[in-house]
Structure 1
Amino acid sequence: MRTNITTFLALLFTVLSCNLSKALTHHDSSSDPEMQRLLKKLDTVLDKEHIPGLMISIVRKDGILFSGGLGYADLEQKIMVNANTQFHLASVTKFFVAMGIQILISEGRLDLNDRLHDIAPEIPFTNPWESTNPVRIVHLLEHTSGFEDIHVSKMVNIERIPQKGIDAIRSVKSSFTSRWKPGERASYSNPGYNILGYIIEKISKRPWNEFLKLKLLNPLGMQHTTFDLSGNSQVSFAKGYDFSAGIFRPLPLYGPSSNGASSALVSDASDMSRFLHYLLTADENSNVLKPEDLDEMEKVHSTLASKRGLQTGYALGNDLFPNNKKIPLRGHNGKGEGIVSWIFFNRQKGIAYAISANANVNLYPVSRVIEEYLTQDVSAPTLSSVELDGHEIEPMLGYYQFLNPKNERWEFHKRIFGGIRLLSIAGDKLIVDRGHGRIDSLIHMGNKIFRVKGDIIPSVIVGTDDDGRPFFHGYGNGFYRKAPYAPILLQKTLIYLGLIAALLSMIYTVVGIPMALLRKISLMDLCLVLLPSLGMIAFFVSFRLLGKTEAVSKELLTYMNMTSISIFAGMLFLGISVALAAYLLYRRWMKIGKKWIKIALAFNTIFLFYLVVLFAVHGWIGVPVWLM
């Protein structure tokens, strides 16, 4: 009996493999002059952009055009990239997790509008609007829950022991506070997808990665695709690099944060080609998701903008990008330790590609070459416009404040400096000032929906929320609300005055040091400007060190060490130095004879103190980074 079952399963696997092989037509790139020209162009881009190696999958509905790679997966060992070199695709994982959720929905085991609290009350989250605007599954999928992105000390798992179950979710609970009504605006949140992984586990009764293998990877024949939950390096993995000062430096491999459902995917060109081909050819006989399920994944459901008619934005695990000038492409990108990945597709046009480079680079030069090849026979669409109703739009002109940063601590300044102005109406165009001399013409497509000049699809909408307040959604998933400009101008002015005070302190210090050496002024008087100067230098050095560490050595932000202590101490020293300088000025005020010197020192002290208070309130001073 056991032999019969084994024989049957082997036969079944053979039949399925044959069917899959039949469905996938591999074009022989070695005999295709066009493909050879494309690969030569890409090779040139690799040299110019300092990319060690590149994974490439190029697919049309009628077959796989290319599945392989260029360059080196490992520079030290001189290992070349091939069709089976595995790349860590980082946030591309989210598209696969979203498909897992959609599979559960298609099976009737879950619904987009299910409340998170009803499904998993054990998850610790805070939503002040829960009674009227609860966090739902769709909000996690579309990043509209209001949750923050991952905090710096939680970005990686250095213990190389996978986190599981509710403990994995609790490890990133510091991000689980809704900052606005769920469903109003989008803000990218990795921890939201960790929750979705947990929900897959809870409903399917198996680990999320095993569920995806069973329901998605195995049916598609993706035998070389896995989820790296530990961060242990393997020979088949491409090694990530950082290029600086003319040198490629290998970067460490980490385990993903939480349960890995936001970033653990590892795949190769061969498997990604199979996946993309499935997206382009799925029909009613598909054993994964049907076309109507995939259509549903391409809709934006929950944002205020989508409810007013705009469908550009983050949908269920994928985003729509308006930058191609012939056809719109949707997909996802990912960025890990020295590896950057993009996947793009258009199911209606039957084209798709996936690329991954093992360096911290912008993949746009690579994608542009591939998209030119895929769309060479496609004509640019004829674009129309609708004249604006001036009476309707006129009341909506004015200043709009940016309101949806990914992280309130590190991006609080975007609420002050990230705003836009709707300037005027010119026929079918809305003129927008983005600041720093950037003036955009937005072309009206009807119903207050606009496309940016040069784009082929709308990506902007102006409307009013449920309380009648004007809002602007555009420039990615940016959300702006009309606001009085005077308070913003006041904040900007105070910050600029603080920066001027910092610069003046340094100038005074440069002048004061030789004067102190010549005994023209006392050492105590020099300290009035020297202390805040040293504080500002320490702050900027620490902030730069934080950015560099986050880019190439994230593990140093997860525990107390010389680097994390230096970042903490450098930022804290700014507050201490300015406070000491203020105290010294108070003590020496009556001994300063010249009025203009008093005014200059008072100016510096007041506005530097304002900067210190501002930074402290927003967590840039006095908070150990390893505890964030």
Structure 2
Amino acid sequence: MDAVSEDLVLLPATRRALTHRIAVAQSEGRAPSVVAAVARGGEVRWEGTRTSVEGHGPDGNVQYRIGSISKTFTAVLVMRLRDEGLLQLDDPLEKHLPGTGVGEVTIAQLLSHTGGLAAETPGEWWERTPAAMRPELADVLGEDPFRWEPGRRHHYSNPGYTLLGSLVEEVRGRPWAEVLRAEVLEPLGLDRTTARPQAPHAGGWAVHPWADVMMPEPLEDLGLMAAAGQLWSTTRDLARFAMFLARGEERVLSAETVREMRTPAAPPDPASAELGYGLGVQLMDSSGRKLAGHTGSLPGFVAGLWVSEADDIAAVVLANCTSGLPAASVAADLLAIVADAEPRLPEPWKPFREADPVALELCGPWYWGTSAQVLRLMSDGLLELAPMGATGRAARFRAEPDGTWTGLTGYYAGETLRAVRRVDGSVSHLDLGSFVFTREPYDAQAPVPGGVDPQGWRGIG
């Protein structure tokens, strides 16, 4: 085993803490079974299980129903359509899936739950009734599908993801599950993630709230609602999927696109720890650590999946009880245990083999008015602008073929940075979205908007 691999093997004390956490969760949550996994460096580094059946416990290959984590898989399919140029996120649904009656809602709004649609379907509880009760989209949406004006607020909607599943089917011309298998599950090697349960799989249970007795939950096929919560999976598959959400995989989605999915697209609820909702991805703050992933539940099952890109750690928790065990919180705790006990080792610093001479020329201090900034050339080829003091706007920039740089983060995301040169070729100043950055505060030799007082800097006298 090489040195890098040794660093990724969890220490005995860390493994003991992880086991203790799920043991407490299973006991206090009164779950028939719980299975968990933690991945780091792209590989599963720990698996744990606790069960009420003595001498027998599920492992990372046993399927559980994952509920709304299915939505993130559906979102991946939609983003693939966008990346292929088959649709745009600001397209109204009607452009690609006509006749729904809610066609003014955009694809981005459906992905981020800002379309204003109802949280649930009309009629009886869809998770515990046959799909035959909802054979058409009209049965899923009902006569009054809106609760809010589209685009006004985040309102979680299961019917919204049913529409996205139907959108995938309309554009691809094949069933949602078939497209998912070919375009996501097989390329990522998720051979234990399926639309219908495949042995070995757990049974779903309801645990009486006031007595230590159980009752099996009905197992319903969700039909049109499949894209919102149909899938079954394992901790090993989901850990791999979580790392994909952090890193991307070119055969499915690029790192840039999964980063876009993890970017807030809907505002957070002030009463929750959530940082908002991305494009099919829940975002959460856990003790200052930014997590992305999703939670899930269906009768008999709860699930939680989180990944911390900064820590390169993912955690998954699955349990077969309708309620009681907070799978999402436990998954966040598992991730924190590893991140806190065994902090990620930074990559070794390495100098450039060949630095861009133009970018190198721009490095160093700059001033926006009297605000001191510094521009650095990073080893990944990006330019980083950061304040020298405690406050200010920071951003990273990507080089473009025309000699400009495009903002990737922060206030300047999407804005253009360009170096303006004098007749002799020397750099006069930087123009960043009309802001002028000069080598000296209010440099009289640069075209500072509003001009520079000819008497220059002076004291009070």
Matched residues in 2 for 1:147 and 1:25: separation?
49
Partner of 2:279: 316
Matched residues in 2 for 1:57 and 1:175: separation?
43
Query: Is contact 1:300-1:314 (8 Å) kept?
Result: yes
Partner of 1:135: 105
Is 1:331 paired with 2:293? yes
Partner of 2:171: 203
Matched residues in 2 for 1:120 and 1:214: separation?
22
Amino acid at match of 2:287: K
Query: Is contact 2:265-2:277 (8 Å) kept?
Result: no
Partner of 2:45: 65
Question: Once the two structures are superposed, what CA deviation does each residue of 1:142-166 show, in whole Å capped at 9, x if it has no partner?
Answer: 1111111213515136447697xxx
Partner of 2:214: 248
Matched residues in 2 for 1:345 and 1:357: separation?
19
Amino acid at match of 1:318: V
Query: Is contact 2:265-2:276 (8 Å) kept?
Result: no
SS at match of 2:227: coil
Matched residues in 2 for 1:175 and 1:374: separation?
49
Partner of 1:177: 145
Structure 1 residue 312 displacement after superposition? 3.0
Alignment equivalent of 1:44, drawn from 24, 29, 39? 24
Residues 65-464 of structure 1: matches in 2 within 5 Å?
65-67=45-47, 69-71=49-51, 80-125=57-102, 134-150=104-120, 151-156=122-127, 158-159=129-130, 167-174=135-142, 177-228=145-196, 235-244=199-208, 245-256=211-222, 258-282=224-248, 286-301=250-265, 312-322=275-285, 324-359=286-321, 360-361=323-324, 362-363=326-327, 366-367=330-331, 369-377=333-341
Partner of 1:626: none
Matched residues in 2 for 1:26 and 1:93: separation?
33
1:248 to 1:219, Cα distance in 2 relative to 1, 3 A: same
Q: Give the gaps of 5 or more residues in structure 2.
A: 344-390, 394-461
Query: Is contact 1:183-1:302 (8 Å) kept?
Result: no
Amino acid at match of 1:313: G
Higher strand share: 2
Matched residues in 1 for 2:334 and 2:125: separation?
35
Structure 1 residue 61 displacement after superposition? 2.5
SS at match of 1:335: strand
Structure 1 residue 50 displacement after superposition? 1.0
Query: Is contact 2:246-2:255 (8 Å) kept?
Result: no
Query: Is contact 1:26-1:64 (8 Å) kept?
Result: no
Higher helix share: 1
Structure possessing the higher relative contact order (Cα contacts under 8 Å, 6 or more residues apart): 2
SS at match of 1:261: helix
Query: Is contact 1:102-1:293 (8 Å) kept?
Result: yes
1:315 to 1:79, Cα distance in 2 relative to 1, 3 A: same
Matched residues in 2 for 1:157 and 1:175: separation?
22
Q: Give the gaps of 5 or more residues in structure 1.
A: 1-22, 306-310, 380-444, 448-628
SS at match of 2:340: coil
Amino acid at match of 2:124: S
Matched residues in 2 for 1:175 and 1:375: separation?
49
Partner of 1:450: none
Identity %: 26
Structure 1 residue 317 displacement after superposition? 0.8
SS at match of 1:226: coil
Residues 557-572 of structure 1: matches in 2 within 5 Å?
none
Structure 1 residue 257 displacement after superposition? 5.4
Structure 1 residue 49 displacement after superposition? 2.2
1:61 to 1:327, Cα distance in 2 relative to 1, 3 A: same
Question: Once the two structures are superposed, what CA deviation does each residue of 1:319-361 show, in whole Å capped at 9, x if it has no partner?
Answer: 2112x11311121111111211111112233111111111112
Question: Once the two structures are superposed, what CA deviation does each residue of 1:355-399 show, in whole Å capped at 9, x if it has no partner?
Answer: 1111112236633541331221588xxxxxxxxxxxxxxxxxxxx
Partner of 2:425: none
Query: Is contact 2:112-2:266 (8 Å) kept?
Result: yes
Amino acid at match of 1:326: G
Query: Is contact 1:175-1:191 (8 Å) kept?
Result: no
Give the count of matched residue pairs. 334
Partner of 1:402: none
Structure 1 residue 36 displacement after superposition? 3.4
Structure 1 residue 282 displacement after superposition? 2.9
SS at match of 1:172: helix
Question: Once the two structures are superposed, what CA deviation does each residue of 1:95-125 show, in whole Å capped at 9, x if it has no partner?
Answer: 1101110011111111101111222222133
Amino acid at match of 1:69: T
Structure 1 residue 249 displacement after superposition? 2.3
SS at match of 1:70: strand
Is 1:55 paired with 2:35? yes
Structure 1 residue 69 displacement after superposition? 3.1
Query: Is contact 2:128-2:219 (8 Å) kept?
Result: no
Query: Is contact 1:60-1:280 (8 Å) kept?
Result: no
1:68 to 1:27, Cα distance in 2 relative to 1, 3 A: farther
Amino acid at match of 1:85: V
Structure 1 residue 24 displacement after superposition? 11
1:241 to 1:288, Cα distance in 2 relative to 1, 3 A: same
Matched residues in 2 for 1:262 and 1:142: separation?
13
Structure 1 residue 81 displacement after superposition? 1.0
Matched residues in 2 for 1:182 and 1:365: separation?
31
1:257 to 1:187, Cα distance in 2 relative to 1, 3 A: farther
1:152 to 1:240, Cα distance in 2 relative to 1, 3 A: farther
Query: Is contact 2:37-2:48 (8 Å) kept?
Result: yes
